[in-house]
Amino acid sequence: MDFWAVIAGFAVGTVVGMTGVGGGSLMTPLLITVFKLPPAMAIGTDLWFAAITKSGGSWAHWRHGHVETRITMWLLAGSLPAAVVTVGLMHLTGLQLGWSSGLTAALGVALLLTAVSVAYREVWARIGLGLERWLPQRHKPALTVAAGALLGVLVTLSSIGAGAIGATLLLLLYPRLPAQRIVGTDIAHAVPLTLAAGIGHAFLGHVDWTLLAALLVGSLPGIWLGAQLTRKLPEDLVRGLLCLSLIAAGLKVLA
């Protein structure tokens, strides 16, 4: 099983290296369908996988000045409390409210939302430009905190959303921000959020540490390979294949 975990980590790492998204979106369904982990265990394990694999990218973007610190802090002001409250509710209610089926539903919906976010990335920027007249600058901090809170709940429940959905929300709120700053800010926010949610899931016993280690061993060379391939493969092809994979995974989880 460790061998197949290394292969899975390599495959997902390659996709992340090529597209910058897809880690949680692909890893969690794999953990559920291939490795037969319960939804909560798969989500908790993937949150740690995401936090660790994205740390290097976050540091690189920070060094290159691609992180908008104020926006990151506004997002965290909403997402971290939301993640803590969500984990607290899961701890207090246990399975009494049907968390297992609820987590599966949240995962399926998040996968489909991620597919839409990836497929129409340029469209979201144009919509954001059109919304500027209705979104005065003074309201953006509060809206950014609200966006962070939404991401905090979604990521804690499904391990998905910190990447593609987070970038989509930033495009809607800050459509004039350069693409590299959208990506850098999104990743800088994703690391502490996924780590906080991962710690919460670890507290609930929802992390398979042995499997996590094997996944990480495979992901590191995969990310490097994906970064090399992204220079050679057409972006539309890569994005189309990723969207199809996300839709198929989402429908399978919801089935």
Q: What is the pLDDT of residues 96-130, one digit of tens each?
A: 445 566 777 777 787 788 778 777 777 888 888 88
pLDDT digits (tens, 9 = 90+) for 179-226: 788 888 888 898 999 999 999 999 999 999 999 999 999 988 887 887
Provide the pLDDT confidence category of residue 235 given band limits of 50, 70 and 90: low
pLDDT digits (tens, 9 = 90+) for 218-228: 988 887 887 67
* Residue 198: partners with Cβ closer than 8 Å, 6 or more residues away: 44, 47, 48, 50, 51, 207
CB distance 155 to 162 below 8 Å: yes
CA distance 227 to 87: 34
- The stretch 80-105 carries a mean pLDDT of 77
Q: What share of the chain is helix, strand, coil (3-state, %, to 5)?
A: 85, 0, 15
Q: Which residue, 83, 12, 79, 18, is CA-closest to 226?
A: 18
Residue 20 has pLDDT above 70, yes or no: no
Q: State how many domains the chain has.
A: 1
Confidence (pTM):
0.84
Task: Give residue 117's domain range.
Answer: 2-254
Q: Which residue pairs, CB below 8 angstroms and at least 24 apart, start in 236-243?
A: 238/18, 238/19, 239/19, 239/118, 239/119, 242/15, 242/19, 242/21, 242/22, 242/118, 243/115, 243/118, 243/119
- In this predicted structure, what is the pLDDT of residue 1? 55
CA distance 226 to 60: 17
- In this predicted structure, what is the pLDDT of residue 248? 74
